[in-house]
Structure 1
Amino acid sequence: MAGEGHIRELDGVRGLSILLVLATHLLPLGPKVLQLNAMTGLMGMSLFFCLSGFLITRFLWERPDVPVFLVRRLARIYPLLALYAVVVVGIALGRWDAVQGILLTYLNYDDAILTEGTGHLWSICVELHFYFGIALAVALAGRRGFWIVPVLALVVLALRIEGGALVSIRTHLRVDEILSGSLLALAWTHRDHPLSRALQRAAAGGLWPVLGLLWLLSCHEIGGALGYARPWLTMATVAGLLFRAEGSLRRMARHPVLAWLAGISYALYIWHPAMALGWLGSGGGFTRYLVKRPITFALTFALSHLSTRFYEAWFIEAARRFGKGH
């Protein structure tokens, strides 16, 4: 059942995930004691990772051409990552040690270079590690290489439980959120398989609201050990959107504003901390959040739109031409 084209509802997931991340980093979400910023951050990143695993796996399953895959993914990720690393982290912040950690993708294992303006890039390292790992598996075994996904998912879960890692930025303790999306893609591709049918019934049926509530709890500290299940509750929540019948929720996920946000989401993620540095990030609560934050949001959206259209698009199109030639 592969090759069914773009799934517009997933634009809504991507758009929602970037809004949650922006809110986490740029806004005060209620009294600190409620820990809502931490919660929305986990919500946004779990959706982002799950969606990434889904899309990458679907692409590689339909076209297990590893060179084309790597060229297209690196063309999507590295040009803007390198630009941000050099201009913001290197030149503006003077942290050339962090530039190296970013470009060589070990930043999420070196806490000393996780500073203001660089801290959010840990997730890009996790993403790239997954790309290289799944590409190697497919290069060695073709589609059979995807058997590594459930095995790794269980290994990561065991490592998280053993180390008490409810939340982590280390790849070996966080990549299960991407792996959950990868498994969802395999279930989507093989919808007639009994395991996929069981997921469909659980996610799209009467259990979906319960699973969604459990996902919310798994993203908050009050959920406790439920955090270990966050990748799978995220997967079930997204599956509920994919497998459910047409209705208001699916129509909402296809909203043009969410589609636009999805289109510039990577640039929004990369650029937004830079727009809150220096003068824009200073001042008391009133000045910072009611005067300067609207400027930060405006600059972030404007720069991200221009970056996506006039900078990233060139590299993406070049990679597509490469893919067509192979």
Structure 2
Amino acid sequence: MDVFFVLSGYLITQVLLANPDLPTFYWRRFKRLVPPFALMLAAYLWAAPKVEPNHPHWRDALAAFFHLSDYTLPLYQFPDYLRHTWSLAIEEQFYLLWPLILLRKKPGFTVLIAAWAALTVWKFQWGWSAAYTRFDTHCTGLVLGCALAMLPRFNLPTWPFLLGLLGCVLVFKFNDASSHETGVIVVELFTACILLGNAPKWLSARSLVYLGKLSYGIYLWHFALAYWMHKQGMRWDFVLAASTLFGVGMAALSYHTLEALFRSNRPALDAAARHGEGDHVAGFQPQLERERS
């Protein structure tokens, strides 16, 4: 998720700089994000009460739909089966605020890096369980990505930083508070170095591009099932396999039916590509496909 935040801040800033049309930007975000999200919530509200009838599913769905999960989760411990929507809430709040700041205040690289440093310090004033899901304490990756979009490309090899990201997965433990605090910073910096370097060509493979198109749907659909199976005490490998297959299947179904109705031409990204963005992020096609839609 922290890799995604940096990439998202970078790519969205590039798109906005290439085409500073706010109504178009907001409409495209709405078309891409809201229909599949609404479909998932409708399916959840149909199925979840049958599985666990005593849980306040409507309360959780409303918190998720109005993008409040990033604060209701640490403050009030809900939503439960939809707790993964904290990150979508952060993204939506970023989409709402950042275009207004960028196009009216036009902050440069120095200001944004100072903001990233200040927000990182602010994050450390809270325990990780209270800070991990909140916009004000977990938007650092987005801010860093916005700052990177102001810089030219550097001729850096990226494989050491890709290995570094892999090392983070092996070194930092999920239930360790220091991992969440220090690990987030390390992951953000490694991702920044990858963005500013020479993107590996294999990341633009057709299969990964298609996976990128489905990534938002996979994110939406897999979690509730995985979380329920985990609470039932099922083996982690079975949970992983079942939730992945379910997530990919439902994401593909949504992408080729409902989402296909909302897709249209993409002039904003085409303009960005003509300004050089397409070459720079060619190796990040999975993430690019998610943002460009």
TM-score using structure 2 length: 0.72
Query: How many Å separate the matches in 2 of 1:83 and 1:50?
Result: 27
More off after superposition, 145-154 vs 131-140? 145-154
Match of 2:96 in 1: 132
Aligned length: 261
Answering whether residue 173 of structure 2 is matched by residue 220 of structure 1, we say yes
- 1:87 maps to a residue whose letter is A
More off after superposition, 78-87 vs 298-307? 78-87
Secondary structure of the residue that 2:246 maps to in structure 1?
helix
Answering whether residue 119 of structure 2 is matched by residue 169 of structure 1, we say no
The alpha-carbon deviation at position 268 of structure 1 amounts to 0.1
Q: Work out whether residues 70 and 134 of structure 2, in 8 Å CA contact, stay in contact via their aligned partners in 1.
A: yes
- 1:302 maps to a residue whose letter is G
Gaps of 5+ in 1: 1-44, 192-199
Query: How many Å separate the matches in 2 of 1:313 and 1:183?
Result: 33
Flag the 1:257–1:219 CA change in 2: closer, same or farther, 3 A. farther
Answering whether residue 257 of structure 2 is matched by residue 310 of structure 1, we say yes
Flag the 1:154–1:204 CA change in 2: closer, same or farther, 3 A. same
Match of 2:150 in 1: 186
Match of 1:56 in 2: 12
Answering whether residue 105 of structure 2 is matched by residue 152 of structure 1, we say no
- 1:267 maps to a residue whose letter is G
Query: How many Å separate the matches in 2 of 1:138 and 1:219?
Result: 34
Gaps of 5+ in 2: 50-55, 271-293
Query: How many Å separate the matches in 1 of 2:48 and 2:179?
Result: 40
1:55-94 aligned at under 5 Å gives the runs: 55-89=11-45, 92-93=48-49, 94=56
1:224-263 aligned at under 5 Å gives the runs: 227-228=180-181, 230-245=183-198, 250-263=200-213
Query: How many Å separate the matches in 2 of 1:224 and 1:96?
Result: 31
Match of 2:85 in 1: 121
- 1:152 maps to a residue whose letter is A
Secondary structure of the residue that 1:264 maps to in structure 2?
helix
Instruction: State the identity %.
Output: 22
The alpha-carbon deviation at position 274 of structure 1 amounts to 3.5
Flag the 1:168–1:293 CA change in 2: closer, same or farther, 3 A. closer
Flag the 1:178–1:285 CA change in 2: closer, same or farther, 3 A. same
Flag the 1:323–1:251 CA change in 2: closer, same or farther, 3 A. closer
